Amino acid sequence: MQILQWTKLDAKAQQQALARSPLIGDDSVEQTVRDIINAVVKNGDQALTLFNQKFDGVEVDTLGLTEQQVNAACARVSDEVKQAIAVASENIERFHQAQTFSPIDVETQPGIRCELRSEAIENVGLYIPGGSAPLISTVMMLALPAKIAGCQQRVLVSPPPINDAIVYAAKVCGITEIYQVGGAQAIAALAFGTESIPQVDKIFGPGNRFVTEAKRLVSQDGRCSVSIDMPAGPSEVLVIADKDAEPAFVAADLLSQAEHGPDSQVMLVTESMALAEKVNMALESQLKTLSRSDIAAQALSCSRSIIVNDIEQAALVSNLYGPEHLIIQTNNPRAVLKQVRGAGSVFLGAYTPESVGDYASGTNHVLPTYGYSRSVSSLSLADFSRRFTVQELSAQGLQSLGETVMVLAENELLDAHKQAVAIRLNSL
């Protein structure tokens, strides 16, 4: 990777050093995705079938998997994979079960009761990337929180042909509706509904830049009222490492994200030029062993190492970047953690590779990218519910608060608001 010295860069060069891959923000993507969405809205299942043939080279008899197809797919999954799914799902379920919401019930003053409640989003759509890297783990990351939250209808979509282990994981996690469609067209189907695929209230799941753009567009489309989890597109990682970090470990973590796709990005921020050079050597050596080396190499071409004065400055650079994944491989990683202000998920110490969070530690791997981690949270149980407030006043409560409300309403020139209080007070 290119090595840059942070303090020798002017403000513009520093901004460029933290810029995402040029593949992101391609002006042609928006129009392409708009055309796909409009085709699905107009032609429904017929459009989905055509896009399956065009983008995935697959023709399916029915978009929805039958019970027989699900059972056949599950039978083809090895016992080893089933056991791995069992362990991972148990950890994910335990961590997310602990996030169960506790209602808040407060008397703000005598006779005035205010509550904060939560209820599950009724219909959710779960997008599972497939293609060259079928994300089996994403099934668990989405389906288990949706089940724990109590979402009644949980619809899963994934590009055809759907990997058998994806189908098995879906069944284990309580998914009964599985549809063979991916890409922007799948997002459009979930947002607007088709003859086969039901319309949902919220869409979850990561994807490439076309999926990410489709999620953005449908969430802003006045023709539907669907919401999305977050901007979750091409993967990225930033590693903060000190001079004592193991170069092979750092290189392995960088490559684990680079192999996701050519538009992924990986960054190393370190105080040590010697470490950066050793990491580059380790990258070159490890890259040769990867089955997806061509993809990883493309991602590395838009990635870089940044040399800073000290680890405190490394934390500052990381906060400016706002990584999806932040790995801290330093002698005292928890000290650095106190300085972190923007990261989707943080991995501490030499023996915590990002891979454990991707699969089985229990945390969720659906995370904000593009720097949104400075303001957007990682996926959690709360995302599958909506929170709402309740208030109840007694006559005494309204008498004590009424004058305050009427004064404020009058000064906002909202006479009906004032009258709604006054007419009740006059009846007492």
Residue 203, token pair as written in the block: 């869409």
CA dihedral 243, 249, 253, 255 (to 10 degrees): 110
Q: Which of 118, 175, 117 is nearest to 141 (CA)?
A: 175
- Inter-CA distances, 250 with 281, 286, 297, 391, 408, Å: 11, 11, 16, 53, 58
Calculate the CA 289 to chain-centre distance: 29
Cβ atoms of 216 and 188 within 8 Å: the answer is: no
Element (DSSP H or E) covering residue 91: helix 79-97
Annotated catalytic residue within 96, 325, 354, 365: 325
- Inter-CA distances, 191 with 42, 90, 110, 119, Å: 13, 31, 45, 21
Cβ atoms of 384 and 363 within 8 Å: the answer is: no
Annotated catalytic residue within 260, 324, 354, 365: 324
Q: Assess whether 90 carries a catalytic annotation.
A: no
Residue 303, token pair as written in the block: 């990635």
Q: Assess whether 96 carries a catalytic annotation.
A: no
Cβ atoms of 345 and 236 within 8 Å: the answer is: no
Residues with catalytic function? 324-325
